[in-house]
Amino acid sequence: MDTVQEENTASLESASRRLMDDLAKTRAKLQEMLKSGKSETTSELSLLLADVEELARAARGEERRLEHGLRERIDHLRDALGEYGRSVAAHTRETVHKTENYVREEPWKSVGIAAALGIIIGFLLGRR
C-alpha cells in the first residue's frame, strides 16, 4: 500500500510542478505585456486568456485522472478486505466446528485441559 501512496504523491507533485511552471510562464507574459503597454495588448490578452483556460482544462483533466486511479485502488482494497473477511469467517466457523466435535468426542480431556489452563492462568495472575 505504501507503493500506491508513493505513486500518488509523486504524481501529485509532478502535476503541481507542471501547474506552477505554467502559472509562472503566464505571470511572466502578463508582466511583459503590462510593461510594453502596446496597442496589441488586446490580442495578446486574448492569447493569455486562452493559455489560462487551457491550463485550467489540463489541471481538471489531471485531477480527474488521479481521482479515477484512487477510486480504482479503493474499490480493489474494498474487494480484497471483503474477501479476507469472508476467509476469516469461514476459518473461524471451521475451527468452532472442530472444537465442538472434539469436546463432544472427548469430554473428560476437554475438562482436564480447561482445568489445567485455569490453574496456569490463576498461578500467573497470583504472582502479580
pLDDT one-digit tens code per residue, 7-30 = 766 777 777 777 777 777 777 777
Q: What is the pLDDT of residue 2?
A: 63
The three cell numbers of residue 2 are: 505504501
What's the length of the chain?
A: 128
| CB-based contacts of 42, cutoff 8 Å, min separation 6 | none
Residue 97, pLDDT > 90, answer yes
For residues 2 and 121, which has the higher predicted lDDT (pLDDT)? 121
Average per-residue pLDDT in the chain?
Answer: 80
Give the separation between CA 82 and CA 92, rounded to whole angstroms: 15
| CB-based contacts of 4, cutoff 8 Å, min separation 6 | 73
> Could you read off the pLDDT of 38-49 as tens digits, one per residue?
555 667 776 777
The three cell numbers of residue 26 are: 503566464
* Domain boundaries, given as residue ranges, for the chain: 2-91
pLDDT band at 65 (very low <50, low <70, confident <90, very high): confident
Q: What is the pLDDT of residue 96?
A: 93
| CB-based contacts of 106, cutoff 8 Å, min separation 6 | none
Q: What is the pLDDT of residue 93?
A: 94
pLDDT, mean of residues 68-83:
87
Task: Quote the pTM value.
Answer: 0.45
For residues 97 and 15, which has the higher predicted lDDT (pLDDT)? 97
CA angle 122, 123, 125 (to 5 degrees): 65
Q: What is the pLDDT of residue 71?
A: 85
Helical (H) or strand (E) element with 128:
none
